[in-house]
Chain A
Amino acid sequence: MNFSSLLIPLLLSAVALYGLEKRVDVYTTLTHGAEEGLRVLLRIIPALVGLLTAVGMLRASGAMEWLSGLCTPLLEFLGIPPETAPLMLIRPVSGSGALAVASDLLSSCGPDSYEGRVAAVMLGSTETTFYTIAVYFGAAGIHRTRHTVPAALAADCMGFVASALAVRLFFGAK
């Protein structure tokens, strides 16, 4: 028995019991939320169709490997697996792009490989930086964003380095 086989059933029961205690119709709410999940998925499928095509072509042509190779010296210095270079490049720009690149990497390296885990942690600990900045400042009518972009990118870079570090810490070296 491992940590997550206890965690998930426990979490589901706890949430359901707590909801009942709060007089919440747990089941209807759950299905409502699931519908919302389906809507999110429907919105990203068209983007995934476009992006997985492009990512698949890049990998098949050998360009992906060349790109990773280009960044290898710097990334090895930072302790980041070079296979994740394309993911880091697209992460701040496109959320579904990052999802496409990560899923491509997970199927080629395996979800439980060192590279696969680092990619998943990167995806989980960073955001679509430029998109978020555009949405917020667009809505608030801000033209001079001052130090927002450098600070947000510093957070992303830290997230990338920390992801590799975290996987080594929690799962051991490769």
Chain B
Amino acid sequence: MDALTITNLTKKFGDKTVLDKLNLSVPKHSIFGFVGKNGAGKTTTMKTVLGLLKPDEGRITVAGERVVYGQTKTNRHIGYLPDVPEFYSYMTPYEYLAFCGKISEIPAKDLKSRCCGLLELVGLKNEKHRIKGFSRGMKQRLGIAQALLNRPKLLICDEPTSALDPVGRKEILDILLLAKEQTTILFSTHILSDVERICTDAAFLDKGTIVLQGSVSGMRNLNSSKKYVLELADRKDTEKIMQAFTGLTLNQNHELVFREESGLLFSILHFIAEQKIPVQKLEHMEIPLEDLFLEVTKP
């Protein structure tokens, strides 16, 4: 069973259709990257899953249970980190977590240890100041702690890394990787390197529909253009191969770039072996997800 299933979700704001028959399923224990441009409908989708917005059409199930707008009981399976999390500024992080714990009806005897454990996980254990003076990164980390408090089956993070500096981003991604042990994570982003770094699965959202969905490794394979890069120790050898074969190009680093078609790779390797040409590097070229994303979301 999937942690989250969305079928035919449609949401309009006035005349504007923000989500158009969106279908999505998030497998259990995955880190699911939900990728889209600004305004593609990522936050709307997430808020509808949380029962904060009323869908015009469609069905959402979380851990097999249907989401009902207004009285959202399914939220007890979910931990949510909003894009710009805001907490009660007059509380300390511990007080805030303890308050959240009481709301989630966590037994009093577990509460203290769980709060302390989570504050340690997000690196706020020794923070005794009130939330008022927190930086964005600190709020984001506290946000993850409060989202994980009720041990959710699904953790939803809305662009957790978008507004952070490189250090803050790395911290959040590391915490998410740690959290993967406990839960399924759905996180929206427009930073594709984050997806490549930690996600197991991903979906690309464009104009309110999913244009591509699958495992990140599958996407990479789909995306691999069967291109190879060959670097030789000696420039003369490079020229020799250029003359012997057709369909090779030279890039600015004086490397040979070619597309693997009708056994070209093996012919070249054979040639290299016969001529005993010293090789520096032979690499399968991976094209970043970014190019794939740009391709599938072309206007």
The answer to whether A binds B is: no
Task: Spell out A's residues near B (CB within 8 Å).
Answer: none
